[in-house]
Structure 1
Amino acid sequence: MSLCVFPRVGVEGTWTTPNQPNRLICPLPRYQLLAKNVQSRPQGRMRTYFPIYRDVLTSSPFHDDPPTGKGIPDHICLDELDIGTGCCSIQTTFQAANETEARWLYDQLIPLGHVLLAMTAATPIWKGYLVDTDIRWQRFGDLVDDRRPGEMDFLPPRWTWNRTYLSREKPPMLEGSTPLQPMDKTIKSRLLEGGMDDALAEHFASILTRDPLLLTRADLDNLNDSNTRLFELLHGCVWHHVRFKPPLTDNGPGWCVEFRPMEVQLTDFENAAFAIFMYLLSRAITTFHLNFYLPFDMIGESWETAQKRNAAVEGRFWFRRSGWSSKYHRNDHSVKSMCKDSADHQDAEKECKLMTVDEIVNGEGNSGSFPGLLAMVWEYLDYTNVPSVEKAKLAPYLDLIQQRANSTNPTPASWMRQFVRQHEDYHRDSYVSEKVCYDMMEEISVLNKI
């Protein structure tokens, strides 16, 4: 059974409550060290709060008194690193033909993160209570936030959305819109001297500026500038929603981009659908050179929206509805109908618009408007002459994406919330009892057998 997090994890007096520090963390020394270092640096601040979902009989004010004694009225408090690191997601990694293509794909996946996060929302219950949010994303970030008190005002958390674009082709309108990020100018200068261009040097300098979380004495004693081990240790401890992955060996997978924000779904079919959709969309992006650039302030605003309850239906997200088509394919007959908005624009406010998930994925539905991400995927399948029998195999997965976007197929979070509220043993007080939780797990098991 795939769950983002078990709904009653952290409930006092049950098997879900850790009996000793880090018992859920891999016993290998490296992982124990990561947990120890994360826990020691923030000086007791490592916790996260969820607003309670207020039902008819929910106590007012609602109080959750954690062992730390640092509760907030009407909020659930989690302060266990184990719970944060135990959250599950769908992570998809895409091969690129070369560095140029990888950098372009990385940039275009960044503005898609908040949309896919909202579509896959799957965590409406924490610590045995319904909460007023649907996702795990920033909650995990809070529980692995190692920033010291003096770093809070100038340093974003390690687990956050991306704040750098990499392609040399990024439009000039994005210049100067990069928000706050760590930057050791000496590190950036060294990277520039080593042959990186400015965009790549800034990206990696913002990562390498962080204090190491996993560096051991053995690592220092065995430093070898002929391999990438040290780089991997540093690069692997900053968790952005899109990861740019350069080749680490001559015979490895080459240039890759990893897409990380999607929440794990309740069924294998749903997980497969989102993995397939993102793979096909990544191929459409690289084949048609699609342009989804957004200014970072719009991305930040949309991430805030994605974290709200029922964002997939009620949320409005910034998206590029015009100026997205590539000049390299405007004259190609097979994509001409899709690329109706091929005029160049310089004004981000005119190109970008607050749109629903349905409009972004399924299109706006009128002539000359945004055709939708699904239309681009189907256009890619036509353009690359995928046989009809293969399209028929893909159709059920893409149908689920269409239905999820237009809300005829609810998110796992919405489904779970509805199941709880309709259960005969739920008392309309936000509490998800062991009986309700057990029956919900049984029902999820049945869903996977259909």
Structure 2
Amino acid sequence: MGLLSQGSPLSWEDTKRHADHVRRHGILQFLHIYHAVKDRHKDVLKWGDEVEYMLVSFDHENKKVQLLLSGGEVLETLQEKGERTNPNHPTLWRPEYGSYMIEGTPGQPYGGTMSEFNTVEANMRKRRKEATSILEENQALCTITSFPRLGCPGFTTPEYKPNPVEGGASKSLFFPDEAINKHPRFSTLTRNIRHRRGEKVVINVPIFKDKNTPSPFIETFPEDDEAAKASKPDHIYMDAMGFGMGNCCLQVTFQACSISEARYLYDQLATICPIVMALSAASPFYRGYVSDIDCRWGVISASVDDRTREERGLEPLKNNNYRISKSRYDSIDSYLSKCGEKYNDIDLTIDKEIYEQLLQEGIDHLLAQHVAHLFIRDPLTLFEEKINLDDANESDHFENIQSTNWQTMRFKPPPPNSDIGWRVEFRPMEVQLTDFENSAYVVFVVLLTRVILSYKLDFLIPLSKVDENMKVAQKRDAVLRGMFYFRKDICKGGNAVVEGCGKAQNSTEPPVEEYALMSIDTIINGKEGVFPGLIPILNSYLENMEVDVDTRCSILNYLKLIKKRASGELMTVARWMREFIANHPDYKQDSVITDEMNYSLISKCNQIANELCECPELLGSAFRKVKYSGSKTDSSN
């Protein structure tokens, strides 16, 4: 989530009054940055990961596990012992949406040398050990994407009841405001999304129909007309921002050498987002039920959907300016590089005045429409002290809009007056149980960026097909059963650097010939005569690089995990969790996850993460055993 502004948050009505001011000055701030650094190049390749964690508390006697609402105190202690004591501390800690969540990153970005890949897991281990060391007995730090009983009665400690009446931030039937981070930004964001939308957010996730699941599966909410209308048969209903932003993820940010390289990377990685999302699937359970999806993306998208009925096309436009096709948390809507332009086949809603202003200021069409599209949104939070700013030296108004467009990829201009370059952020991954897995996914994506840049690879397909891939990627077992549109010939200009890459497609051929439906196994591992495979391409790249033996072994270990997850030889976290619940002695094949089943699952996850037990179906033999912590939560201690 990054550093947070301090100050007095405005209500939605007051924020709305200043919306045009924020947009107007946000654009001026962007223009100042752009003109100052548009020609900047030769920045070194730097990158870093962000891991989000949940704090849990185990009650071994009653076989119950709850989310621990002490994130603020834990964060304060970690920062005091870390960066405030030593500016060069190897880890950084930041707040997250839930008061049971924290985010950890490396203290300094990683650089461009191959040996850096061998330090990622060690740093993640250091973070886990640091945070675990200040927890009490029977408390743990977990990297799970979604807590299975989030929103069920008594899911937090201390326990709080939801506040569905006016005055609460979310008015949720299930999610108490006390589970929201105490920083005013988060409750204000929650309240203002609801006020702007004109009603509570609506999340409906299809339930997994097991042998004894009621059909139709129907929940009744007689005490809440809004919920009664919003909930759908055969779906798990949720009604608060916390059901999405209260999940955890894994993200990677890259600094490119120049703005053009950043734009190229942004486009190429956008096509990879659904593939890696399906590969990292880790969230099959919601509000105490087994769902029929494996990824959180659609849940989090709906949880922050502030569009009014008019903007969603349910009523004629009267009080709003635009029909908007997506939530502000969704996949990207336009490519940024010149080679991506012909694949921009999604209707793009833009602020025409801002677009024209940007063109007049020398911004090219593609970047101008990207920014003008982001700026159709309103600011969601505004601090009274941050209304009038120095546009030449501050970027808060630009970031206000930019940072609340939560898309699969984010294009990030440098902060004003800093030595940071143009960056892109890769955002679709689900967090994994172990530091080994999280390192594997990070290294895979970072290595892929190196190969894309070195070999000038081209993964571009029509953006509408990427959107279709995003929908497929979230489905149950998409990694094995899903078929994804992917480019057949990824070597631009006939640069046959990898066996299986032929000449580039003749531009006169119809675009439909450039891509085909492929399985994730084909995309990742390759299939003769169809596609060379990303892992073979990465291996080819590694063979041509000078890499020390330890680093090479680490990278190959990580790639082995990705390879086997793609082929189905190893399970995704989502599939493993499903199997665990299905085989639990208390499970009645009714799609219900009880407290005791949840306790068993999270206990097992914690043991796996702390290397107190093996899990070959999830990790295979690639997992290197390095004892480092000794969990405080093992009931056998």
Q: TM-score range by the shorter chain?
A: over 0.9
**Unmatched segments (≥5 aa) in structure 1:** none
Shift of 1:144: 0.6
Specify the alignment match of 2:186 in structure 1: 31
Specify the alignment match of 2:338 in structure 1: 168
Do 2:494 and 2:503's aligned partners in 1 also have CA atoms closer than 8 Å? no
| Cα separation, partners in 2 of 1:225 and 1:250, compared to 1, 3 Å | closer
SS at match of 1:248: coil
Shift of 1:33: 2.1
Q: Deviations over 1:127-167 (max 9, x none)?
A: 11111111110111101100010000320210110111111
Do 2:154 and 2:160's aligned partners in 1 also have CA atoms closer than 8 Å? yes
SS at match of 2:428: coil
Please tell me whether residue 69 in structure 1 is matched to residue 224 in structure 2.
Answer: no
Please tell me whether residue 379 in structure 1 is matched to residue 540 in structure 2.
Answer: yes
Do 1:52 and 1:430's aligned partners in 2 also have CA atoms closer than 8 Å? yes
Shift of 1:446: 2.0
Specify the alignment match of 2:468 in structure 1: 301
CA–CA separation in structure 1 for the residues paired with 2:519 and 2:484: 6
The one-letter amino acid paired with 1:349 is: V
In terms of fraction of residues, the more strand-rich structure is 2
Q: Deviations over 1:330-356 (max 9, x none)?
A: 4xxxx2535334454542211100000
Please tell me whether residue 116 in structure 1 is matched to residue 276 in structure 2.
Answer: yes
Specify the alignment match of 1:347 in structure 2: 510
CA–CA separation in structure 2 for the residues paired with 1:18 and 1:407: 42
Q: 1:86 aligns with which of 240, 243, 246?
A: 246
Shift of 1:217: 2.9
SS at match of 2:442: helix
CA–CA separation in structure 1 for the residues paired with 2:375 and 2:434: 38
Q: 2:454 aligns with which of 284, 287, 293?
A: 287
| Cα separation, partners in 2 of 1:328 and 1:190, compared to 1, 3 Å | farther
Any residues of structure 2 matched to 1:378-397 within 5 Å, and which? 378-397=539-558
SS at match of 1:10: coil
Shift of 1:223: 4.6
Specify the alignment match of 1:125 in structure 2: 285
SS at match of 1:65: coil
How many residues are aligned here?
440
Q: 1:6 aligns with which of 147, 164, 185?
A: 147
CA–CA separation in structure 2 for the residues paired with 1:19 and 1:6: 17
The one-letter amino acid paired with 1:69 is: A
Shift of 1:124: 0.9
Question: What percent of counterpart residues are identical?
Answer: 35
CA–CA separation in structure 2 for the residues paired with 1:372 and 1:341: 16
Specify the alignment match of 1:337 in structure 2: 499
Please tell me whether residue 54 in structure 1 is matched to residue 224 in structure 2.
Answer: no
**Unmatched segments (≥5 aa) in structure 2:** 1-141, 164-168, 170-176, 314-322, 615-637
Do 1:289 and 1:328's aligned partners in 2 also have CA atoms closer than 8 Å? no
CA–CA separation in structure 1 for the residues paired with 2:586 and 2:574: 19
Whose radius of gyration is greater, 1 or 2? 2
TM-score, reference length from structure 2: 0.66
Specify the alignment match of 2:567 in structure 1: 406
Specify the alignment match of 2:383 in structure 1: 216
CA–CA separation in structure 1 for the residues paired with 2:160 and 2:573: 24
CA RMSD across the alignment: 1.8
SS at match of 1:384: coil
Do 2:498 and 2:537's aligned partners in 1 also have CA atoms closer than 8 Å? no
CA–CA separation in structure 2 for the residues paired with 1:107 and 1:94: 13
CA–CA separation in structure 2 for the residues paired with 1:146 and 1:415: 34
Q: 1:157 aligns with which of 327, 331, 353?
A: 327
Specify the alignment match of 1:446 in structure 2: 607
Q: Deviations over 1:254-279 (max 9, x none)?
A: 11110000111122211111011000
Any residues of structure 2 matched to 1:153-302 within 5 Å, and which? 153=313, 154-155=323-324, 156-170=326-340, 172=342, 174=343, 177-179=345-347, 181-302=348-469
Shift of 1:207: 0.5
Specify the alignment match of 2:585 in structure 1: 424
Do 1:338 and 1:376's aligned partners in 2 also have CA atoms closer than 8 Å? no
SS at match of 1:318: strand
Specify the alignment match of 2:9 in structure 1: none
Please tell me whether residue 362 in structure 1 is matched to residue 525 in structure 2.
Answer: yes
| Cα separation, partners in 2 of 1:17 and 1:344, compared to 1, 3 Å | farther
TM-score, reference length from structure 1: 0.93
